[in-house]
Amino acid sequence: MLLAAFIDAGADQKIIQRVVEQIPSHYTKCKSLHLEVEEVKVYGFRACRVNFKIGEDSHGTEAKQLVDASEAIATASEMSSKASSFAVKAVRTLIETESKLHGVALDYTHLHEAGSADTLADIFGVAAACDSLNVFDGTIMSTPVAIGQGTVTFSHGTLAVPAPAVLEIARRYHIPITGSSEPVELATPTGMAMLANMAHQFTEAYPAMIPHKVGYGAGRFQLQSSPNFIRVTLGSSSDNMKSDVVQLLETNLDDVSGEVLAHAMQTLVDSGARDVWITPAQFKKNRPGQVLHVLCDVKETEEMTRRIIEETGTLGVRYKQWHRFVLERDIETLDVEIEGKRFQVRVKIARDGPRVVRLKPEFEDIRQIAKETGLPARRVEDIVLGKAEVYRGA
């Protein structure tokens, strides 16, 4: 349904087909695969529906085979790095969830439904569709996920909706879920795995935006009281300021040395934290100490919390979400000549709409140039900033 919605919004079917056709070449279980797209009516509304014609072995598969296949397909597909990373991470999310639920190490996890070639087709199809529409270059937001109600029957028996994997992914990635009057399963593990690695934030209401493209992806089931489709809206911000949501993690430390704390901060930054800082504090029994603050993506909360505990030995981490307004930012590589030598310097460009607000060279690049030329870092930075003025007119 998600793939169909992106196709309806204008994703290039030829690009998608070219990517999913890599699956039989790298996943031995799959013998053939073909994408079929049709227009249908759902409760009187037109929508797009996708079907995959797949020839594959009916037996289950080992998790490692699916992981290896996803990495091979990502390499062969020639998608962007963002699209390839999304696809591989979505597959891993699905497999890690199955591994945890069954209490088996990933290398020994046996897959049933999740091991179908249809899983790879869905994930890589969506990756290619998003790549075609440049979705990964923007901010991706989602409303809470409707999970339905009733029961779902699969290889491990019949259980109440949501399926365990759906609930585990929602828990792990802080995805808000909501029930529905429809007595069917509305969210699948594969869909949740994709959303977990795609959405930057979840919101009850649409953000302020100007819609440019809208796509409707139809499911196969006929629901009792509502159209069974997913809607995707692509647009631009109605304001130059963008908003997002980040997670703030904090812990009090009064028994950690400066050396260990410095190492912990660098480890957290290397692990993907958006920012890390400390503030001095005084705790019980008048002990001086520090409060460690870590800013990260919401979906990285669990991993960052584990890192904090491992690196500092703290017994607990508190968290809360912060809403932010941020300027658009991107990074360009500038070629400069200094002291007769040519260097490449990364420059961060902050924009308020078309207006460049600030240019900031990457200090590690400045430091390296200063080291090689013998010039003071401040002098190197001045030279680079002078050259970077070209971006104000771009």
Q: Do domains 243-325 and 328-393 have the same CATH topology?
A: no
pLDDT above 70: residue 241: no
pLDDT at residue 306, rounded to an integer: 94
Position of tokens 């109440």?
Answer: 160
- % of the chain with per-residue pLDDT over 90: 63
Name the CATH superfamily housing domain 328-393. Answer: mk0293 like domain (3.10.20.300)
Q: What is the mean pLDDT of residues 284-308?
A: 92
Distance, in Å, from the CA atom of 39 to the CA atom of 1, rounded to the nearest integer, reads 12
Residue 313 backbone zone (phi > 0: left; psi -120 to 50: alpha; other: beta): left
Q: Domain 243-325 maps to which CATH number in 3.90.226.10, 3.30.70.1380, 1.10.645.10, 3.40.640.10?
A: 3.30.70.1380
Report the length, in residues, of the chain.
394
In 43-174, beta strands by DSSP E? 45-56, 61-62, 110-111, 141-142, 145-146, 151-154, 157-160
pLDDT tens-digit profile of 264-295? 999 999 999 999 999 999 998 888 999 999 99
Task: State whether residue 380 is helix, strand or coil.
Answer: helix
pLDDT above 80: residue 102: no
pLDDT at residue 119, rounded to an integer: 92
pTM attached to this predicted model? 0.65
Position of tokens 């569709």?
Answer: 129
pLDDT above 80: residue 112: no
Q: Which residue did the predictor score with more confidence, 102 or 337? A: 337
pLDDT tens-digit profile of 179-196? 888 888 899 999 999 999
pLDDT tens-digit profile of 13-51? 999 999 999 999 999 889 999 999 999 998 889 999 999
Q: What is the mean pLDDT of residues 337-355?
A: 88
Ranges of each domain in the chain: 2-237, 243-325, 328-393
Q: Could you tell me the two tokens for 165?
A: 């994997």
Q: Could you tell me the two tokens for 30?
A: 């799959």
Q: Which residue did the predictor score with more confidence, 5 or 225? A: 5
Kindly provide the b/e burial profile for residues 70-89, where b requires at least 16 CB atoms within 10 angstroms of the residue's own CB: bbebbeebebbeebbebbbb
pLDDT at residue 43, rounded to an integer: 84
CA atoms within 13 A on the CB side of 260: 13
Give the pLDDT band of residue 355 (cuts 50, 70, 90).
Answer: confident
Q: What is the mean pLDDT of residues 378-394?
A: 87
Contact 172, 298 (CB under 8 A): no
